[in-house]
A = this chain, B = another copy of it.
Amino acid sequence: MNSNIAASIRTQRLASLIPMLSKMIPEHAILSEPEQLKAYECDAFTTMRQMPLLTVLPDTIEQVQHVMRCCHALDIPVVARGAGTGLTAGAMPVENGVLLGMSKFNKIHAIDLHNRTAWIDPGVRNQAVSDAVAPYNLYFAPDPSSQLACSVGGNVAENAGGVHCLKYGLTVHNILELEIVSIEGERMTLGGPALDAAGYDLMAIMTGSEGLLGIVVGIRVKLLAKPASARVLLAAFSTIEDAGNAIAKIIGAGIIPAGLEMIDQTGIQAIEALMHAGYPVHAAAVIICELDGSVEEVEDELSSVIAILNSLNASDIQVSTNETESKRIWAARKAAFPALASLAPDNYVMDGTIPRRALAEVWTKINRLSDEYQLLVVNVFHAGDGNMHPSILFDSSDENQYQRANELATRILELCIQVGGTISGEHGIGLEKINQMCLQFSDAEINQFHALKHAFDEKRLLNPGKQIPTLARCAEFNAMHIHRGEMPFPHLERF
C-alpha cells in the first residue's frame, strides 16, 4: 500500500480504536509504541515482517469479546498470536491491524482424571500440560519440536503434530472441545466432552484454521496414560533405499511405532557436532524408531523390528534400555534444526507430506534439486507418516541465494503434490505456502473454502490474506508458472 495512505489509515484507526478499547482494556494491556510492537512483527518465519497497528494483551474472555466487537465495528483486521513459534507467518500482523496476544491466558483450570481431560487456556505451553498431569502418569500427546515454547492455542490453530503423531494423531485427534469468540464477539462452544457431538463438526473446522475463523479462548484436551514401556532404537544405513525400505517393512509388518524418523547424513553430522548423542556420522541415513506399550508388547515388536533392520543391512543398532537413554536419542533429533545453524546463517524449514511409498523417490529428487540450485538441503522426515521437513540452508544476506532458496522451496512443494501428497504436514499454510494452495486445490474447492470463511467472518477481518488464496492470486500464480515454460504437472490429470 502507498505509505501515505497507510499512514493516514493508521492515524484514523488509532484515533477511533484506542478510546473504544480503553472502555474495557487496561492501559498497560494496549501496546502502541514501536519498541513495544517490534517484538510482534513476525513469528518464527522471520523472513516476513509487518508491524501491527496495536498489540492488545487481554486477560479475560470478556476482554477478548470487547476487542473483537471494537474491531468488528470499526472494520479493523485482527491477527491472534500464541507463542509466536509458527513457521509459516500465520501470526504475522496485517498492516494497520490489531495483533491479539493470548499469552496471558496461561492457566490450567481443571484436570478431570475420571474422563482423562483437562480444561486449559489457549496460552498454556504444550509441555506445561504434560508436566501438570505427570503426577497422574498422564500426558498430552502432540509434541511439536517447539513444545517447550509453543502454546496449545497455537497447536490448535495449526493442527500441530510432532514425532509421536504417527501413533497418537494430530492436535485435532487430541482435543475434545473448544470455546471460541467470534469476530462479532459471541462466545461459542464447539465439540463437547463426549467422543461425538451433535451438529456439524465445528471443532474440527476450527482446528487448523490458522486464526481465520475465530479466537480460541478455552480448550478441553485429551490426556493419555503414559505407556508402561517405551524403547527407542537408532539404526544406520549405507543407502537411502535401504532406510526407506526399512520404514516400509516396519509399517507393512503391522507395527505402529510411537515415532518413526529418518535423517540424512548432513543432518546426522550437524546433530552429532552439537549434541554428541552417539549418532553414526558415516551413515547415509539413520532411522529412529520408538515402540511403546506394555513391556511384553514392546519386547515383541522390538525383536520384529530388529529382524527387519538386519535383513536390510542396518548397522550400529542402538536400543535404549531406560528413559534417560531414550531422551538422549530424542533430544538430539529434536535439536536437528538448531544444529543446522552451524552450517549456514539461514535455514528454510519446509513441511510437506507424501505417501510413504514415494519416500526414496522424493528424497532422491530433492537431492537432484539441491544440486540444481546449488543449495544444501538437509532431509529430516517423520517417515512413518510421510511428513518431511527438508531444510534449505542459505544466506539471506545474499540476494541471489535468497531467491534460489525460495524457488527451490516452491519446487519441493510441487514435488509433494506431484506424488500425490500435500503441501502441509503440521506447520500450516500461513503466507509461506499460499501460492501452492493454487496447485493443490481446484477453483471449486478454493471457492468452497472462501464460502466457509464467509460463514464465520463475513467482513474478512480475521487474519486476512493468509491460508486461502483468492482466485485472482491463483490465476496470476498459475499464469506465471506457465509463463516460465513449465506446466506444473503435465503428466498428471488429477492428484
Contacts and interface: CB of A to CB of B under 8 A. Distances in A.
Interface of A: 113-116, 137, 159, 161, 165-166, 169-170, 172-173, 182, 186-189, 192-202, 204-205, 207-209, 213, 225, 248, 251-252, 254, 293-297, 299-301, 353-357, 385-387, 420-426, 429, 433, 437, 440-442, 444-445, 448-449, 451-456, 467-468
A197 B352 CA distance: 10
Most chain B beta carbons < 10 A, residue from A165, A299, A445: A445
A357 B429 CA distance: 40
Contacts of A170: 195-196
Given A205-B200, A455-B448, A194 B385 contact: yes
Nearest to A301: B294
A442 B188 CA distance: 8
Contacts of A196: 159, 161, 170, 208, 353, 387, 422, 424-426
Most chain B CB within 10 A, of A193, A209, A295, A468, is at A193
Given A195-B387, A196-B353, A199-B468, A114 B248 contact: yes
A114 B356 contact: yes
A173 to B, nearest CB: 7
Given A182-B444, A205-B204, A456-B448, A423 B294 contact: no
A165 to B, nearest CB: 7
B297 A202 contact: no
- Central interface residue in A166, A357, A422, by most chain B CB within 10 Å: A422
Contact of A193 (B193, B200, B355, B433): B355
A248 B116 CA distance: 11
A169 B194 CA distance: 12
Given A200-B208, A207-B201, A195 B385 contact: yes
A182 B444 CA distance: 10
B188 A115 contact: no
B387 A194 contact: yes
A303 to B, nearest CB: 11
B195 A449 contact: no
A155 to B, nearest CB: 13
Contacts of A441: 198-199
A172 B353 contact: no
A207 B200 CA distance: 8
A456 B225 CA distance: 40
A452 B455 contact: yes
B199 A437 contact: yes
A225 B254 contact: yes
